[in-house]
Amino acid sequence: MSGRLANRRVRLLLLLFASAFGIVLARTAWLQSVSASDLSRRGAKQQHETIVTPAGRGTILDRTGLPLALGEEATTVYADPHDVRNPRTVALAAERTLGVDANRLYPQLLDKRKRFVYVLRQADPERAAALRKLGLPGVGFYPEERRVYPQHAVGAQVLGADGTDDRGLGGLELGLDSLLSGRPGRETFVKDPLGRPLDVLSSVPERDGHDVFLTIDHTIQANAEAILRQTVAQQRAKGGTAIVLDPRTGQVLAMAVVPSFDANRFSHVPAAVQRNRAVTDTYEPGSTFKLVTVAAALSEQLVTASTPFTLPYSIQVADRVIHDAERRGTETLTVGQILSHSSNVGAVTLALKVGSDRLSRWIEQFGFGRRTNIDFPGESAGIVLPRAQWSGSTIGTVPIGQGIAVTPIQMATAYAAVANGGVALAPHVVDRVVGMSRARAHLPGVRRRRVLSPRIAHQLLSMLVNVVAEGTGTSAKVPGYLVAGKTGTAAKPDPFGGYSSKYVASFVGIVPASKPRLVILVAVDEPRQAIWGGVVAAPAFAQIAKFDLQYLEVPPDATASEGASGTSG
């Protein structure tokens, strides 16, 4: 009995060994055939590691080479919850050294299913170094670059901002993102079982982004912003815009928007404040648009600057009655005086002589209703009714800048054409991209386009000089310089129809008038102390112009009497 029992046990043991061997053999076959590729990938992943080395973002500089946006060294701190031994200690240490919220971080560190958690992106290197000294298991560090704006609020709406993922969020940071971003590098190396690097298998170096020089001059920009802020505060206005443009080149030297913000705090600012309103927003221009009406009448050879018109206080056009801003009796004004006195009735009278078809063509000729093609994202084309949609009263409203919406950059460009002998140049804010042509950088070329004949441009310039010398723009005078320009006072449309009791006061000027170097536009939104462009915007123009002319060392071109400061408008 004992012998047979022993044999049974031996056979059972052999069966068990045979079964185990069969299972091992089947598992081996499975691993070598079906799972081989997956296991190979896992093994390679454990032995090989690829890290991405971020590329430096290009610097944005003003026309003098002063950095406006640049990269600064930072350290990104992360954690592997699987390797973190004491999540509470790590969370409290991160809060103490980096200022992160421990209550937010702690639950993430408890989740052992995760292998990567950001503790803080782009942390201050010194603070990160203090955390590194604690030697907390599971906490890692890698160098990264963060975007800083050393001039803070200067040009904030022009620059926009760069996000933590090195992507532009607005302004030129967004518009030039492909040029500024560069290309990250990659490095693959072999690790030992403890995760220590043994050898580099492959390496692709990073390529930093391109540096970009702007046409913006930091000094001119900062001054324009300061004067605009002061004007908005004095007038208790909603906001304001100022542009300084070189009519000879199309270069934008300043583009100020108020209210502004510190570009380093871009993410904390409402979207409405982030916009560069000089390019993206429209307004009814009011009397500054009369330049187009007068230009059309002169160019069509219907009148001369000295042609007289007997003008009543009001004029009816279809169902509209148009009158001048100040009550007066019937008077005779020349075409030049119509512009200098900013007569609504006179402008409408000229428009009726020109006719709807020709006036519509001249509005298009000046570039209204389409983008200027400025190298800035989000430009508005403005709002211009096609000729086919004009009503009977349109010929009475559009000639005086009502029922039409323009952007500040469009209006500045139109006056720049007059200043430049009738030739308009596309405005631009990017001067050059280091190492690339404008074409290769996919930036629009600086196009020249004749708008007016040199003779008509010269006549208009002389008329605009009279606006400042003896008309509505006397407060725009700059001692020592001949100034040409036009005031504008426009009621804002009411969303529910008609016009509200809120206004945009503006002035567009050219200086020096004898040899134009600058076109300066100032528009103040909803001023409350006064509403007239000659009272609100013209003095701000004079302050900006006086500073810029001295800064650029532009020689005077007027006698003391011609350039004396005005006191009304």
* Secondary structure of 231-272 in HEC code, one letter for each residue: HHHHHCCCEEEEEEECCCCCEEEEEEEECCCCHHHHHHCCHH
Report how far residue 497's alpha carbon sits from residue 494's, in angstroms, rounded to the nearest whole number. 5
Residue intervals of the chain classified under CATH 3.40.710.10 are 218-265+276-430+445-551
Q: Are strands 212-214 and 239-245 parallel, antiparallel or unpaired?
A: unpaired
**Identity (one letter) of the amino acid at 434?**
V
For 260, residues 6+ apart whose C-beta sits below 8 A from its C-beta are 153, 156, 157, 225, 229, 273
Note the Cα 32 to chain centre separation in Å.
Answer: 60
How confident is the model at residue 51, as a pLDDT? Answer: 61
Range list of H helices, 77-176? 87-98, 102-110, 125-132, 156-159, 171-175
Q: Into which CATH architecture does domain 218-265+276-430+445-551 fall? A: 3-Layer(aba) Sandwich (3.40)
**Identity (one letter) of the amino acid at 325?**
A
How confident is the model at residue 2, as a pLDDT? Answer: 60
Global pTM reads 0.83
Q: What is the DSSP letter of 494?
A: P
How confident is the model at residue 187, as a pLDDT? Answer: 65
Residues classed as catalytic: 287
Report how far residue 365's alpha carbon sits from residue 451's, in angstroms, rounded to the nearest whole number. 6
Report how far residue 508's alpha carbon sits from residue 545's, in angstroms, rounded to the nearest whole number. 11
**Residues of the chain whose pLDDT is less than 70?**
1-10, 12-13, 18, 20, 22, 24-54, 164, 185, 187, 189-203, 559-569
How confident is the model at residue 524, as a pLDDT? Answer: 98
How confident is the model at residue 566, as a pLDDT? Answer: 39
> Are the beta carbons of 117 and 87 closer than 8 angstroms?
no
Phi, psi of 202 (to 5 degrees): -150, 155
How confident is the model at residue 568, as a pLDDT? Answer: 35
How confident is the model at residue 167, as a pLDDT? Answer: 81
